[in-house]
Chain A
Amino acid sequence: MSNIKKAFENGKAFIAFITCGDPDLETTGNAVREAVKNGADLIELGIPFSDPTAEGPVIQGANLRALNGGITTDKIFEFVRDLRKDVSIPLVFMTYANVVYSYGAEKFISTCNEIGIDGIILPDLPFEEKEEFSDVCDKYDVDLISLIAPTSENRIAMIAKEAKGFLYIVSSLGVTGARSEITTDLNSIVNVVRENTDIPCAIGFGISTPAQAEKMASLSDGAIVGSAIVKLLEKHGKDAPKYIGEYVRSMKEAIA
């Protein structure tokens, strides 16, 4: 049974995204620990990619800073091994298909299992291509997490039926980044999801304020926040963890 479901046993889940190595892995570790201490239920650890086509400018910037700092997949694996000594909440990787493919799918995903990564999110791997990695993910008990978009319509049921871990519902068209307003009819999407699967679903893309998080979590099982956290890292650098802690607390309190 997936470890990821534990993230949804503590009321509505607050899911935080952090790019590994921005500005360095020590700061990433401190940021994760602060987020956990302040109520984060699941952490998405971003493995930087040179050309992140699903990301807006904020997370693109984080990827660039991390890569310029010399971050690699191997260094991130070592970092997670160390993080797992005192962080027990579910952890998933978020990266792009080529990072996994180039490393060797079996080698990458077996290492995920070994170091305690519970799932993996690949925004450029839609339902039609998931067999690229799904067999290996099943073999090593790593959940390959599916995304549903505002344009998915007739595809929602098909995706939900085969979903693993949790379903990542993309709130809006476009790339990651804060939005003042989310206009998609998410209620209808969640209804179709519920009819087709028992696994939890959380909403992400564009969420930055406690009020938005509360609304999104009320429609689903949780809220995912990335760019707003990465912005704190961009602004405060090594001092960001304490601000991230405060921010996560305000978000978790809003949705609880």
Chain B
Amino acid sequence: MTNPKGRFGVHGGQYIPETLMNAVIELEKAYDHYKNDPEFNRELQELLNEYAGRPSRLYYAEKMTKDLGGAKIYLKREDLNHTGSHKINNVLGQALLAKKMGKTRLIAETGAGQHGVATATAAALMGMECVVFMGEEDTKRQALNVYRMRLLGASVVPVKSGTATLKDAVSEAMREWTSRIDDTHYCLGSVMGPHPFPTIVRDFQSVISKEIKEQILEKEGRLPDAVIACVGGGSNAIGTFYNFIEDKDVKLIGCEAAGRGIDTFETAATVNTGRLGIFHGMKSYFCQDEYGQIAPVYSISAGLDYPGIGPEHAYLHDIHRAEYVPVNDDEAVNAFEYLSKCEGIIPAIESAHAVAHAMKIAPTMDKDKIIVITISGRGDKDCAAIARYRGEDIHE
């Protein structure tokens, strides 16, 4: 390639309409400048600490550890951040960057609504206009978050095209950006899309593994044997992995949403069922048919219900540095209930996918092994949907 920028192996790149090229080039220049700017970093650090409540806790799940009878389990509590998930880490960074670039309006896509809520929150804080695109199907699954975004002053646009889920929300946000670039920053919520987004979002989320490393060294005097996170586009997972990539003894495990199972069509497990393709600005793995039509994926989790995966994850898979395992709806719902009862922590249904995998592997590991599960968000938003899954009709 003449332009190796933004490539992770063969993955990544900038497969976007010409209309957006100068916008992403401008964003890259601004980011390259501000990421080394002491004043920018001071402001961001203050927002993360004072407003979002960082650092988040690394909690020893003693009851869960004893109950499973194997490896020692720690939970990285991103659910305790302001707005209830890891999404705020990236949003505060991007909103601050957008503001420095002179932008006055943020647009965003959202699946479960956590990124939308975080973006609406940052927009309110910084006095910016905010428009969030959300699949119509997801506005029903996550009605509470729609209300939260409106309460925060954002407008929420239900997207009816395609499968009316996260991928369609991304497409619609991209369409909106091509029509209004001058005053608008597209605050992308995951480590996906065209360069430089996968790099910017990773950098802002890498605070998760930076803290885990410091905290586990303080508590245990050594690095964990495995870190586990759920993967849709992959932002909390790359945040959890990033500072451990060079520590080859730390296993990196991403948990994909298998929906009703990877042997069915109702799945969103991209690495396990997809193949290499080009979509939403990047080359990576995608669930697609033999002619390259993007598959209508499915997961109980609106936040993992996406047919692709970030390019850096695709690369970590290619070089066998990280492992991507499928976790189906049933396993995730069981883990959702298990963590609630066992530790008194209600995880987001997305994060429950990571908990479910830990429940499988912890009992097979020795008691002197350590695993860290990132609880990417809190599960209040999911209670009504899980109740329905269990046949109980409750209304929010």
Which residues of A approach B to under 8 Å, CB–CB? Answer: 49-51, 53-54, 56-57, 60, 67, 72-74, 96-103, 123-129, 131-132, 146-155, 159, 170, 173-175
Find chain B residues with CB under 8 A from A129 CB. Answer: 3, 13-15
**B208-223 interface (Cβ within 8 A of A):** none
Q: Which of B14, B171, B279, B286 is the one whose CB lies under 8 Å from A126?
A: B14
By Cβ-Cβ distance, the 4 closest A-B pairs, closest first, are: A102-B292, A174-B179, A149-B19, A50-B293
CB pair A173 B21 closer than 8 Å: no
Find chain B residues with CB under 8 A from A159 CB. Answer: 18
Q: Is B1 an interface residue (CB 8 A)?
A: yes
CB pair B22 A98 closer than 8 Å: no
Given A53-B174, A99-B291, A128-B14: 16 more A-B contacts, CB < 8 Å:
A51-B294, A98-B277, A98-B286, A99-B292, A102-B290, A102-B292, A124-B15, A124-B17, A126-B14, A132-B278, A147-B18, A173-B19, A173-B178, A173-B179, A174-B175, A174-B180
Q: Is B251 an interface residue (CB 8 A)?
A: no
Q: Is B250 an interface residue (CB 8 A)?
A: no
- Complex: how many Å from CA A230 to CA B205? 44
Stretch at the interface among B161-169, B237-245, B254-262, B375-383: B161-169
Find chain A residues with CB under 8 A from B292 CB. Answer: 49, 73, 98-103
Cβ-closest chain A residue relative to B22? A151
A-B contact count (CB 8 A): 120
- Complex: how many Å from CA A132 to CA B282? 12
CB pair A148 B18 closer than 8 Å: yes
- A to B CB contacts below 8 Å, 18 in the list: A51-B171, A51-B279, A97-B15, A98-B288, A99-B292, A103-B291, A124-B281, A126-B18, A128-B14, A128-B21, A131-B2, A132-B278, A150-B19, A152-B22, A159-B18, A173-B179, A174-B19, A175-B179
Cβ-closest chain A residue relative to B279? A98
Find chain A residues with CB under 8 A from B167 CB. Answer: 51
Q: Which of A50, A54, A73, A126 is the one whose CB lies under 8 Å from B294?
A: A50
Find chain A residues with CB under 8 A from B275 CB. Answer: 102
CB pair B168 A51 closer than 8 Å: yes
Most buried by A among B19, B277, B279: B19
Find chain A residues with CB under 8 A from B17 CB. Answer: 53-54, 123-124, 126, 147, 149
Find chain B residues with CB under 8 A from A155 CB. Answer: 18, 21-22
**A53 and B179 in contact (CB under 8 A), knowing A129-B15, A151-B22?**
no
Find chain B residues with CB under 8 A from A152 CB. Answer: 18, 21-22
Nearest chain A CB to B204 CB, angstrom units? 24
Nearest chain A CB to B158 CB, angstrom units? 14
Most buried by A among B13, B14, B15, B174: B15
Cβ-closest chain B residue relative to A54? B17
Cβ-closest chain A residue relative to B168? A51
- Complex: how many Å from CA A72 to CA B293? 9
